[in-house]
Structure 1
Amino acid sequence: MRLARPLIVYGIAGFGLAALIGLCGAASVVHEPEIDAVARPSPESFDPALVLRGAQLASVGDCVVCHSSDSGRPYAGSKALPTPFGTLYSDNVTPDEKTGIGNWSFPAFQRAMTQGVARDGSHLYPALPYEHFTHVGDDDLKAIYAFLMMRQPVQQSPPENDLLPGLGFRPLLAGWKLLFLRETNFRPDATQSAEWARGKYLVDGLGHCGGCHTPRNLLGAEDHSADLQGGLAEGWIAPALDASNPSANRWDTASLFEYLKSGVAKGHSAAAGPMGPVAEGLSRVEDADVHAISVYINSRMHPQNTSHEATAAQAVAEDRAAFADPTLLHAGELFTGACGGCHEPGAPMEVAGRPPLSSVSDMLMDDPRNAIQAVLQGVTPPSRKGPYMPAFANTLTDQQIADLLAYVRVRFTDAPVWPDLAAKVSAIRKEDAQ
């Protein structure tokens, strides 16, 4: 699951497609006016309570993850964001007046968040998910603005974006917005509870969960007809958050809340890949808001349950070792050596709470991408507690990983072996190295 910014950013639009470029040629004359610079607001101008609320909302939006490079200062930008159209680098959103947003007024910040236009009038790439932020109320935007203006200023400019030829021409983004940006305020459903409405507001808005958990069209925009039906994030599959969710153990509000707050929930695998930082951010968010998110997602997963409080169903642990393909016996030996200490039924780590492999969603999916990524990259718990899995990218070959996953799939599920596994492992390993 993924509840925050889309860490693999598809939202640059389908530049490079001749049809869109032709359309955007007409839109390239669209000009957004510059908003006058202001003196950096003084810290005394912000109510401390407003700043604290902004900190909570920024954690829901996972802002620090995209706007901090791996070795840089928080919110100073320069993080590389790989996309199908090249690499973008995030902007500095500290209150530095030269390289950040220190001379931005609130109207300039509001326009950037909801319309994707910088203070100087230039169009911003939809790596900033303004598709979702258009649903965020002005009071919440003011709180986030206050929080950012209270950060430590850092003078740092991001590197130049490395995009396919022609895609750095920002007026093209005006055409993309004409096609896909829907500026609509959030409207609660009068038939639902206030908590459900709060959860939907956070999921659709600041949480921008659809950025990862909704598929995208060829032009890089979310397919709203398939809202929360699964997508791709940083090379990982972001599973569906509706009734088609592949989990063997059914989610309920309690397990969703536990997972979102800690990255771990009983009967489910730990948050991995881009979901790890989301859970880490949500661990700092007030329980009431995380519970509201859980209530809303639970209702999407169990739409026929009118109470929206479906009880989690636990899958029965399977071990089909006796039925394993004899040609995979060598992989069984590899499993014993590399994985058995944690994943062999009855092993101390498995008994201590690690979910059986028969209930791990990655092993049940039609696409092996997440299972491959988990073996290549490992799993690091977002908090100090939780299951840890080392990365095997440097110790196992593509063929060994393919054999290992084939063995696990046959032994612990009743699903067939994924086809062309070795080739898929090789392709994903190359993706990760880029």
Structure 2
Amino acid sequence: MSGMRRLLRQRGMILGMMALGLVPIVALGAPSPRIYYPQVAESGAGPALKAQIARGRYLVKLSDCLACHTDHGNGPEGKPFAGGFPIKTPFGAIYASNITPDKTTGIGNWTFKQFDQAVRYGISPHGFLFAAMPFNYYDKMSRQQVLDMWEYLRRVPAVNQKNKPLGMPAPFSWRWTQFGWRFLFFNPTGPLKPDPERSAEWNRGRFIVDGPGHCGACHTPHNFLGAAERQHFLQGSSISGMWAPNITSLTTKAASIQTVTRVFSDNRGLGGGKLVGPMLDAIDHSLKFMTPADMRAVAVYLRTVSSERASGPSPVPMKDVDLALGGQTFKKHCAACHASGAGGAPIVGNAKDWRALSRMPLYILYENTWHGVGIMPAKGGCKDCSSRSLTSTVVYMLKHSRPGAGDKGPQAAGSPSASAVGGAGSPGNVVSLTVGERVFKTSCAACHATGIAGAPRYGNHADWASRLKQGLSPLYKNTLHGIGAMPPKGGCAGCDVDQIKSAVDYMVAGSGGKTMVESSLKNN
């Protein structure tokens, strides 16, 4: 049978199963608001049981159960663990189920054996679970660990909320067809056994990453049947339209252990940028609850992971790199963030910011630039840039950010000056839409044209509606002092107050507030 299994896997058969193996390719919904873990009833529980419940709570957090099993897109109506959250697939939506102890709509009538079967083997009392449920990672947990989770979940507040039907048409909604996918790609081996050649800390990190943390669900490429390509373990992959970057030793060993742990504690990427999207959700709902010891264990393990490079976009050879072209592209498309540090972007000319990045292979930096990572959009916002332009720009930034490179800060690297954004001969003490347009194109468009990190998009009335109600004064103040991911003056350190006000006026006038701006300019 093992030979037949290999043959079928190699030749990709079971396509006769209507390609239902594609169902595991999922995308989560929009970034969620912050959600909370409820208090549980522990009355009458002795010390041993309380300790077990606490262990279960911690494992539930590590497993990120709350993120999918709570309809957090439904505001306060989304009750913890009551299900209803849509998990999108190419064929429709799978709605996470109610796992509260409600006896009618939840798992209140389940036995522990049924719960264990669902968590570690993907088989519920209703049939096979789709692999949107990461049972192929949870199977690394022991029976005792799942029992701890059970003791916690059976004490969370019961919520009577019916499960939503699958949002997929037949035959994609037929659960029995998952047999083919499971036959090919799911071979449970039982609890993860410690490697005696490794430290307890390393083994703990491996358990979290390969087991309940299910890091590979996002950071490992998947084949067209939705199965993880283990030979490319943690080499990076797209999830929910965003790039989950390479987190093998090629990147994590380039950074210090402390830098890696700050990803979980401070929501910062290895390059310092702010995290957004699915990773930010994973941290807010799960990874930030790790103990410092577990954060360190994960970092220790990741710094040893090695796997084959996956196919993907590649930089041009170094002989084709043009530093002059890279400098031009940087000044036009990258300086707004990388000259000011907007959103935590590593500042060109600051060797400390680039210390870890400079130790990574060029193809990984190029890959992150191509796909976009954190708040940086794909190709750094330069949609028309060629591979040669992007490679040249990355090399240019690296060259000007190594120790002793000679750059003295953002201005030397291409940060726009006041005269550059104002235009030759433009007065420095006049608020003008013409000046505002120049400032916008030079310093603001990188974020406000694409909506990076939630920046209101120029011309999008819906994005600006609530802001326009505040009036211009608060908008001026926020822009001058910085707010959220936006640095003071939007990163245009050389701009004066009137130029910043001009930029705000220009964006407001083009986004539904033209009358407000005209009135302000007339009165001034």
Superposition map of 1:6-405 within 5 A: 19-21=15-17, 44=44, 47-69=49-71, 70-71=73-74, 72-120=78-126, 122-163=127-168, 165-185=170-190, 186-245=192-251, 250-264=254-268, 267-280=271-284, 281-300=286-305, 323-324=324-325, 332=331, 341-343=340-342, 355=353, 359=357, 364-366=365-367, 368=369, 370-371=371-372, 374-375=375-376, 402=383
Higher relative contact order (CA 8 A, sep 6+): 1
Alignment partners' CA distance in 2, 1:167 and 1:346 = 43
CA contact (8 A) 1:61 1:208 kept: yes
Structure 1 stretch 86-95 or stretch 398-407: which is displaced more?
A: 398-407
TM-score of the superposition, structure 2-length normalised?
0.56
Shift of the 359–77 alpha-carbon distance from structure 1 to 2, 3 Å rule, reads same
Shift of the 110–410 alpha-carbon distance from structure 1 to 2, 3 Å rule, reads same
Alignment partners' CA distance in 1, 2:87 and 2:153 = 21
Alignment RMSD:
4.4
Shift of the 129–334 alpha-carbon distance from structure 1 to 2, 3 Å rule, reads closer
Structure 2 segments unaligned to the other structure (5+ residues)? 1-8, 21-40, 309-320, 398-448, 451-524
Alignment partners' CA distance in 2, 1:175 and 1:276 = 34
Partner of 1:380: none
Deviation track 1:375-420 (CA, whole Å, cap 9, x = no partner) reads 569xxxxxxxxxxxxxxxxxxxx997526999887545449xxxxx
CA contact (8 A) 2:323 2:396 kept: no
AA partner of residue 323 (structure 1): A
Using the TM superposition, give the Cα deviation of residue 365 of structure 1 relative to its aligned residue in structure 2, in angstroms: 2.9
Alignment partners' CA distance in 2, 1:233 and 1:345 = 22
AA partner of residue 54 (structure 2): L
Shift of the 321–44 alpha-carbon distance from structure 1 to 2, 3 Å rule, reads farther
Shift of the 339–141 alpha-carbon distance from structure 1 to 2, 3 Å rule, reads same
Match of 2:277, SS?
coil
Alignment partners' CA distance in 2, 1:369 and 1:169 = 38
Alignment partners' CA distance in 1, 2:206 and 2:294 = 10
Structure 1 segments unaligned to the other structure (5+ residues)? 1-12, 25-40, 304-319, 378-397, 416-424, 427-434
Alignment partners' CA distance in 1, 2:184 and 2:118 = 18
Alignment partners' CA distance in 2, 1:298 and 1:146 = 34
Shift of the 350–104 alpha-carbon distance from structure 1 to 2, 3 Å rule, reads farther
Partner of 1:312: none
Alignment partners' CA distance in 2, 1:138 and 1:262 = 33
For the pair shown, the structure with the greater C-alpha radius of gyration is 2
Shift of the 252–108 alpha-carbon distance from structure 1 to 2, 3 Å rule, reads same
Alignment partners' CA distance in 2, 1:175 and 1:43 = 45
Shift of the 86–367 alpha-carbon distance from structure 1 to 2, 3 Å rule, reads farther
AA partner of residue 52 (structure 1): A
Shift of the 297–193 alpha-carbon distance from structure 1 to 2, 3 Å rule, reads same
Shift of the 244–130 alpha-carbon distance from structure 1 to 2, 3 Å rule, reads same
Alignment partners' CA distance in 2, 1:399 and 1:136 = 40
AA partner of residue 288 (structure 1): A
Alignment partners' CA distance in 2, 1:372 and 1:205 = 25
Partner of 1:382: none
Shift of the 191–239 alpha-carbon distance from structure 1 to 2, 3 Å rule, reads same
Alignment partners' CA distance in 1, 2:280 and 2:219 = 15
Match of 1:274, SS?
helix
AA partner of residue 57 (structure 2): A
Match of 1:142, SS?
helix
Structure 1 stretch 270-279 or stretch 184-193: which is displaced more?
A: 270-279
Using the TM superposition, give the Cα deviation of residue 241 of structure 1 relative to its aligned residue in structure 2, in angstroms: 2.5
Using the TM superposition, give the Cα deviation of residue 108 of structure 1 relative to its aligned residue in structure 2, in angstroms: 0.9
Alignment partners' CA distance in 1, 2:327 and 2:305 = 42
Partner of 1:4: none
CA contact (8 A) 2:257 2:296 kept: yes
Alignment partners' CA distance in 1, 2:302 and 2:337 = 36
Alignment partners' CA distance in 2, 1:301 and 1:224 = 11
CA contact (8 A) 1:189 1:197 kept: yes
Using the TM superposition, give the Cα deviation of residue 159 of structure 1 relative to its aligned residue in structure 2, in angstroms: 2.7
CA contact (8 A) 1:358 1:413 kept: no
Alignment partners' CA distance in 1, 2:307 and 2:131 = 31
CA contact (8 A) 1:195 1:292 kept: yes
AA partner of residue 227 (structure 2): A
Alignment partners' CA distance in 2, 1:282 and 1:219 = 28
How many residues of Structure 1 are paired with residues of Structure 2 in the alignment?
346
Shift of the 224–332 alpha-carbon distance from structure 1 to 2, 3 Å rule, reads closer
CA contact (8 A) 1:95 1:150 kept: yes
Structure ranking higher in helix proportion = 2
Alignment partners' CA distance in 1, 2:327 and 2:204 = 53
Shift of the 323–372 alpha-carbon distance from structure 1 to 2, 3 Å rule, reads same
Match of 1:225, SS?
helix
TM-score of the superposition, structure 1-length normalised?
0.66
